[in-house]
Structure 1
Amino acid sequence: MDIGSVVQGSESAFPKSEYDGRVARARQRLAAAGLDVMVVTGPENIFYLTGQQTPGYYTFQALVLPVDGDPVFVIRQLEYFNFIANTFIADAAVYQDGEDPVGFLTKVIRDKGLAGKRVAIDKRGWFLPIAVYEALQAELGTIGDAAGIVEALRAIKSPLELEKLDYAAAYVDAGMKAGLAAVKPGATENDLVAAMMGAAIAAGSEYMGMEPLVSSGSRSGVPHGTWKRRRIEAGDPAFLEMAACHDRYHAALMRSAWLGAPPAVASDMMKACQDALAAALDEIRPGVACEVPHLACQAVIDKAGYTDAFRKRLGYSVGISFAPDWGEGAILNLNKGVKTELQPGMAFHLPPALRIYGRFTVGVSETIVVTPTGHRVLGTIDRALLQVD
Structure 2
Amino acid sequence: MDNTRPFPASELQQRLQRTCAALAENSLDGLLISVPESIYWLTGLDHWGFFAAHVLVLNRNGEMALCCRAMEKITVDNQVENAAFYGHRDDEELSDAVLKAVADLGLKGGRVGIEKRSLFLTPRHAELIQQGDAHWVDASGIADDLRQVKSALEVEYTRKAARAADLGTLAAIEAVRDGASDYEIAAAYHDRMIREGSEYPGFGPFIRPTTRLGEEHTTWRGEVFQNGDAVFLETCAAFRKYQAPMGRLAYVGSAPEGAEQSAELAIAGMKAICAALTPGGKAGDAYDAWREVAVSAGLHDYERHHCGYMVGIGFPPSWTGGSMVTSLFPNSERTLETGMVFHAHSWFTNTDVVDYFVSNTVLLTENGAEILTNTTPETLIIR
Q: TM-score range by the shorter chain?
A: over 0.9
Counterpart selection for 1:29 from 18, 22, 28: 22
CA distance in 2 between counterparts of 1:72 and 1:217 reads 49
Partner of 1:255: 248
Task: Tell me whether 1:72 sits opposite 2:62 in the alignment.
Answer: no
CA distance in 2 between counterparts of 1:257 and 1:214 reads 11
**Equivalent position amino acid for 1:129 in 2:** T
Partner of 1:371: 365
Percentage of identical aligned residues: 31
Partner of 1:3: none
User: Which is worse superposed, 165-174 or 80-89?
Assistant: 80-89
**Equivalent position amino acid for 2:377 in 1:** D
What is the CA distance between 1:131 and its match in structure 2? Answer: 1.4
Partner of 1:346: 340
- Secondary structure of 2:132 counterpart: helix
CA distance in 1 between counterparts of 2:165 and 2:64 reads 36
What is the CA distance between 1:220 and its match in structure 2? Answer: 3.1
Q: Residues 113-145 of structure 1: CA distance to partner in whole angstroms, max 9, x if unpaired?
A: 321111111222221211121112222354112
CA distance in 1 between counterparts of 2:175 and 2:335 reads 40
What is the CA distance between 1:178 and its match in structure 2? Answer: 0.4
TM-score if structure 1 supplies the norm length? 0.93
- Secondary structure of 2:185 counterpart: helix
Uncovered stretches (5+) of structure 1, i.e. residues with no partner: 1-8
CA distance in 2 between counterparts of 1:381 and 1:318 reads 20
Partner of 2:153: 160
Partner of 1:100: 93
Contact 1:189/1:215, CA 8 A, preserved across alignment: yes
User: Which is worse superposed, 196-205 or 95-104?
Assistant: 95-104
Partner of 2:377: 382
Q: Residues 40-95 of structure 1: CA distance to partner in whole angstroms, max 9, x if unpaired?
A: 11101101111112101112211110002521111222211211222222521122
Partner of 2:216: 223
What is the CA distance between 1:302 and its match in structure 2? Answer: 1.9
Partner of 1:305: 298
User: Which is worse superposed, 129-138 or 294-303?
Assistant: 129-138
What is the CA distance between 1:307 and its match in structure 2? Answer: 4.6
Q: 1:282 to 1:72 in 2, by over 3 A?
A: same
Task: Tell me whether 1:49 sits opposite 2:49 in the alignment.
Answer: no
Alignment of 1:179-328 (within 5 A): 179-328=172-321
Partner of 1:88: 81
Q: Residues 288-307 of structure 1: CA distance to partner in whole angstroms, max 9, x if unpaired?
A: 11111111101111221235
- Secondary structure of 1:83 counterpart: helix
What is the CA distance between 1:336 and its match in structure 2? Answer: 1.2
What is the CA distance between 1:222 and its match in structure 2? Answer: 3.5
CA distance in 2 between counterparts of 1:121 and 1:226 reads 34
CA distance in 1 between counterparts of 2:43 and 2:209 reads 41
**Equivalent position amino acid for 2:332 in 1:** V
What is the CA distance between 1:104 and its match in structure 2? Answer: 2.2
Q: 1:361 to 1:57 in 2, by over 3 A?
A: farther
CA distance in 1 between counterparts of 2:220 and 2:355 reads 14
Equivalent residues, number: 380
Uncovered stretches (5+) of structure 2, i.e. residues with no partner: none
Alignment of 1:137-156 (within 5 A): 137-156=130-149
What is the CA distance between 1:271 and its match in structure 2? Answer: 2.5
CA distance in 2 between counterparts of 1:222 and 1:64 reads 39
User: Which is worse superposed, 177-186 or 136-145?
Assistant: 136-145
User: Which is worse superposed, 218-227 or 47-56?
Assistant: 218-227
- Secondary structure of 2:131 counterpart: helix
What is the CA distance between 1:360 and its match in structure 2? Answer: 8.0
Counterpart selection for 2:112 from 111, 119, 128: 119
Q: Residues 197-222 of structure 1: CA distance to partner in whole angstroms, max 9, x if unpaired?
A: 11101111111100211012423354
What is the CA distance between 1:381 and its match in structure 2? Answer: 1.3
- Secondary structure of 1:365 counterpart: strand
Partner of 2:7: 14
Contact 2:340/2:364, CA 8 A, preserved across alignment: yes
CA distance in 1 between counterparts of 2:220 and 2:118 reads 29
**Equivalent position amino acid for 1:77 in 2:** A
Contact 2:65/2:85, CA 8 A, preserved across alignment: yes
CA distance in 1 between counterparts of 2:50 and 2:282 reads 35
Contact 2:248/2:358, CA 8 A, preserved across alignment: yes
Contact 1:12/1:85, CA 8 A, preserved across alignment: no
What is the CA distance between 1:96 and its match in structure 2? Answer: 1.9
CA distance in 1 between counterparts of 2:189 and 2:26 reads 45
- Secondary structure of 1:200 counterpart: helix
